[in-house]
């Protein structure tokens, strides 16, 4: 039996188990109190579950942590929680389990785009720099594949940004000033009546081109054409209905007029001198929920995401190297999720997704595709506090074809603070519109691309040790087939170059690693948390005899240490981040160490003043490799910087 048939058989068997379980007699659903986000996690299983019931490595960043950090971007929030961020001058992409194929959701709504987001990286489909932080209630980070629940892109894991639902009437204003002419102004106003709540956030961010430390000379230089000018506006309206039902409307608008220097040339100049982009993102979501009075989430959601951009100086795309490059992106979707209590031992989660994505790229592409999906997962409660979940999903991509993905998890809740778990999961990453159909002077798409696919095995533990020390640890191993990459081809058409790149299914990949985190409350004043991650990535092209270590792995060994101090009106933190084991053919240094700080002082219950510093060690380093076509140091990170801000509640 060949591998393809084995995978199909495995998926069909999983489907049969789930569908067989659904034939059990339906038991009357017992009424439970509405769940609290403080006690339950939603993203890992698409239903509210306690941490000790979840067979996954899960990190939750709550509202209190976000407010204490006075963060002005989602990447800054994630970095403090040991999430690797690949960052260029104009975009930020998260890495989980050593993989940039990470699905990002906002309130369960898919935020990915089917277009190039970050230079040298078209696996990723979202730029976290374009997400507002002012309306965030919490962020749930689930490491490991989740394609059986969420479909394409959920390879390394899922990040679900859950926005704030108004619970009182209050207005907060803030301002911040700092390095390189940085200015930030924010307004958040919210109100709550008996059954209607609203929240409006507005934010303006502006900054000149940032400086970086040159790794060769040690001199501080300006990364030209990296200026930032952003305006972000969000609106959320919630209406509580009877019997655990509600309806929510969400609107998001981002206007971005920022530099597009892309990367630094060996002589220190920006690659596209004078280049900048004008981008407008408009997102709409409307969700109807029911069943919250029974402790479950049933949802029907419709949404539309729109992005329009014009780039000046974008010779990478335009054949004449002069004219502005424009593109229009859109994604329209409908999601349905239904949860059932089959009996005292079985809970079934099922649903369907439909999504149409379109790209109008004036130079090469005017295409769209549609994905239709159905999923089911059954959760069984067994003796001795064991829980087993088995599920499957079928995604039908109008170009790439259909694909089953399944997963099986086992979890044992040893006590109220300890659980052990094991999981096996398949995943899929469909090719993007650009990978399928692009036709620029520099690269060409391939409509015959196959989806990237693979599987991951994970073992882990969550527990509370002596002296209130909390430990989370997991190990994993994954294999991916038909990985999509660029391959240089001989030139076969008019243009200024002698060769171009074409997308093909060229690679197989292996990943293995571990993630460990410890946190402890030392006293009423002091707390500490530490983390270590190890990732080994190996690649093998179709023509190669064996696997080789991936030189673009930006963090083979990652370290994090955070120390927190709280007393009366003071709150401060110091965060150390480090990476070692990097390949010097892709990076300017084998290791780096950075130090960030934040100090808050409450002048009054209504007014808070804060001071922040980043890269206090003034390290010269990069968080992303330029790949085989660039030189080390192409994507330098900002030098030491400081910021002063104030927030006031009205």
- CB atoms under 10 Å from CB of 416, counted, come to 9
pLDDT reading at 98 higher than 50: yes
Q: Is the pLDDT of residue 612 over 90?
A: yes
Residue 34: predicted pLDDT: 42
Is residue 170 within 8 Å of 605, Cβ to Cβ?
A: no
Can you give the pLDDT at residue 529? 93
pLDDT at 38 over 60: no
For residue 268, what pLDDT is reported?
82
pLDDT recorded at residue 121? 53
CB-based contacts of 538, cutoff 8 Å, min separation 6? 509, 510, 511, 547, 548, 549, 550
What is residue 423's three-state secondary structure? Answer: strand
pLDDT at 16 over 70: no
Total domain count, the chain: 1
Does the structure show a pLDDT above 80 at 481?
Answer: yes
457 compared with 111, residue with greater pLDDT: 457
Q: Give the pLDDT of residue 131.
A: 81
Residue 118 has pLDDT above 60, yes or no: no
pLDDT digits (tens, 9 = 90+) for 382-392: 999 999 999 99
Segment (H or E) for 102: strand 102-106
Name the percent of the chain lying above pLDDT 70.
Answer: 86
pLDDT of 23: 40
254 pLDDT higher than 80: yes
Helices (H) and strands (E) in the chain, counts: 5, 33
134 pLDDT band (50/70/90 cuts)? confident
User: Is 430 in contact with 395 (CB distance < 8 Å)?
Assistant: yes
CA 208 to chain centre: 27
Query: Taking 60 as the threshold, does the pLDDT of residue 607 lie above it?
Result: yes
Query: Among residues of the chain, what percentage have pLDDT more than 90?
Result: 51
The pLDDT of residue 565:
94
Report how far apart, in Å, the C-alpha atoms of 280 and of each of 171, 310, 326 are: 26, 9, 12
157-163 and 102-106 beta bridge pairing: parallel
Neighbours of 469 (CB within 10 A): 14
Decide if pLDDT at 396 tops 60. yes
Residue 311 clears pLDDT 60, i.e. is over it: yes
pLDDT at 4: 47
350-371 pLDDT, tens digit per residue, is 999 999 999 887 656 788 899 9
Q: For residue 380, is pLDDT > 60?
A: yes
pLDDT score at 72? 83
Which residues, 6+ apart, have CB-to-CB distance to 413 below 8 Å? 52, 53, 385, 387, 419
512 three-class SS? strand
More confident residue, 542 or 70: 70
610 falls in which pLDDT band (50, 70, 90)? very high
pLDDT band, residue 323 (cuts 50/70/90): low
Side-chain-facing half-sphere of 80: CA atoms under 13 Å: 26
Q: Which of 60-64, 433-437, 483-487 has the lowest mean pLDDT?
A: 483-487
Per-residue pLDDT for 106 more than 50? Answer: yes
What 3-state DSSP class applies to 618?
coil
Rg (the chain; Cα; Å): 24
- pLDDT category, 9, cuts 50, 70, 90? very low
Given a cut of 70, is residue 2 above it in pLDDT?
no
Residues constituting the chain: 650
With a cut of 80, say whether residue 184 has pLDDT above it. Answer: yes
- pLDDT at residue number 15: 43
Q: What is the number of other CB atoms lying within 10 angstroms of the CB of residue 77? A: 20
Weakest mean pLDDT among 124-138, 445-459, 566-580, 628-642: 124-138
Residue 269 DSSP code = -
Q: Which residue has the higher pLDDT, 86 or 385?
A: 385
Separation of alpha carbons 510 and 481, rounded Å:
9
In angstroms, the CA 31 to CA 85 distance is 42
Rounded CA separation 447/432 (Å): 10
Whether 119 has a pLDDT exceeding 60, the answer reads no
Place 152 in a pLDDT band, splitting at 50, 70 and 90. Answer: confident
Which pLDDT belongs to residue 500?
60
Structure tokens that stand for 171 in this block: 């207005």
pLDDT for 444 equals: 76
Judged against a pLDDT cut of 60, whether residue 604 lies above it is answered with yes
pLDDT score at 283: 93
Tokens encoding 290: 């029911």
- State residue 445's pLDDT score: 80
Token pair 């996690």 in the structure block, residue: 41
- CATH code, 176: 2.40.170.20
Averaged pLDDT of the chain? 85
CA gap 238, 228 in Å, rounded: 33
Q: Are 204 and 216 in contact (CB under 8 A)?
A: no
Q: What is the average pLDDT across 242-256?
A: 92
pLDDT at 643: 97
Structure tokens at 205: 């961010």
Q: What is the pLDDT of residue 88?
A: 76
Residues of the domain holding 149: 3-649
């Amino acid at each position: 039996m060949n591998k393809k048939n084995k995978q199909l058989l495995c998926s069909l068997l999983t489907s049969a188990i789930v569908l067989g379980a659904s034939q059990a007699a339906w038991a009357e659903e017992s009424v439970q109190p509405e769940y609290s986000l403080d006690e339950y996690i939603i993203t890992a299983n698409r239903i509210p579950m306690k941490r000790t019931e979840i067979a996954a490595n899960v990190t939750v960043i709550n509202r209190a942590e976000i407010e204490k950090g006075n963060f002005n971007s989602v990447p800054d929030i994630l970095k403090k929680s040991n999430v690797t961020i690949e960052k260029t001058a104009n975009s930020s992409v998260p890495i989980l389990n050593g993989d940039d194929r990470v699905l990002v959701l906002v309130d369960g709504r898919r935020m990915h785009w089917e277009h190039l987001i970050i230079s040298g990286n078209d696996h990723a489909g979202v730029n976290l720099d374009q997400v507002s932080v002012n309306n965030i209630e919490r962020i749930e980070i689930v490491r490991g594949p989740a394609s059986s629940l969420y479909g394409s892109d959920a390879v390394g894991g899922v990040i679900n940004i859950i926005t704030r639902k108004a619970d009182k009437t209050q207005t907060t204003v803030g301002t911040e000033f700092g390095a390189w002419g940085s200015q930030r102004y924010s307004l958040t106003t919210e109100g709550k009546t008996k059954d209607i709540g609203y929240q409006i956030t507005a934010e303006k961010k502006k900054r000149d081109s940032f400086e970086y430390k040159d790794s060769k000379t040690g001199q501080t230089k300006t990364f030209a054409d990296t200026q930032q000018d952003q305006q972000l506006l969000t609106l959320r309206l919630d209406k509580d209905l009877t019997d655990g039902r509600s309806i929510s409307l969400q609107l998001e608008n981002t206007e971005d007029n920022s530099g597009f220097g892309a990367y630094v040339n060996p002589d220190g100049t920006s690659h596209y001198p004078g280049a900048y982009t004008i981008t407008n993102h408009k997102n709409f979501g409307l969700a109807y929920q029911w069943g919250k009075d029974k402790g479950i989430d049933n949802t029907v959601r419709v949404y539309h995401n729109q992005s329009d951009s014009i780039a000046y100086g974008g010779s990478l795309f335009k054949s004449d190297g002069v004219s502005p490059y424009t593109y229009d992106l859109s994604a329209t979707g409908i999601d349905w999720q239904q949860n059932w209590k089959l009996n005292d031992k079985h809970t079934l989660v099922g649903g369907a997704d439909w999504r149409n994505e379109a790209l109008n790229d004036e130079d090469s592409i005017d295409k769209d595709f549609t994905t239709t999906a159905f999923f089911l997962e059954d959760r069984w409660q067994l003796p001795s506090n064991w829980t087993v979940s088995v599920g499957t999903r079928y995604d039908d991509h109008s170009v790439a074809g259909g694909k089953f993905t399944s997963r099986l998890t086992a979890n044992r809740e040893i006590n109220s603070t300890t659980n052990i778990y094991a999981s096996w999961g398949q995943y899929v990453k469909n090719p993007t519109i650009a990978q399928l159909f692009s036709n620029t002077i520099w690269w060409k798409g391939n409509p015959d691309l196959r989806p990237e696919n693979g599987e991951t095995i994970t073992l882990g533990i969550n527990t509370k040790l002596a002296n209130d020390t909390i430990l989370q640890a997991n190990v994993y191993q994954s294999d991916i087939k038909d990985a999509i990459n660029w391959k240089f081809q001989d030139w076969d058409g008019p243009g200024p170059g002698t060769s171009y790149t074409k997308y093909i299914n060229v690679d197989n990949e292996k990943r293995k690693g571990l993630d460990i985190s410890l946190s402890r409350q030392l006293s009423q004043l002091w707390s500490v948390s530490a983390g270590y991650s190890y990732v080994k990535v190996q690649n093998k092209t179709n023509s190669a005899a064996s696997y080789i270590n991936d030189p673009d792995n930006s963090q083979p060994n990652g370290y994090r240490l955070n120390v927190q101090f709280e007393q009366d009106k003071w709150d401060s933190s110091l965060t150390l981040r480090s990476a070692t084991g990097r390949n010097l053919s892709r990076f300017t240094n084998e290791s780096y160490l950075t130090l960030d700080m934040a100090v808050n002082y409450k002048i009054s219950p209504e007014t808070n003043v804060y001071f922040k510093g980043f890269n206090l060690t003034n390290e010269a380093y990069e968080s992303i490799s330029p790949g085989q076509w660039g030189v080390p140091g192409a994507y330098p990170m900002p030098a030491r910087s400081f910021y002063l801000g104030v927030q006031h509640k009205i």
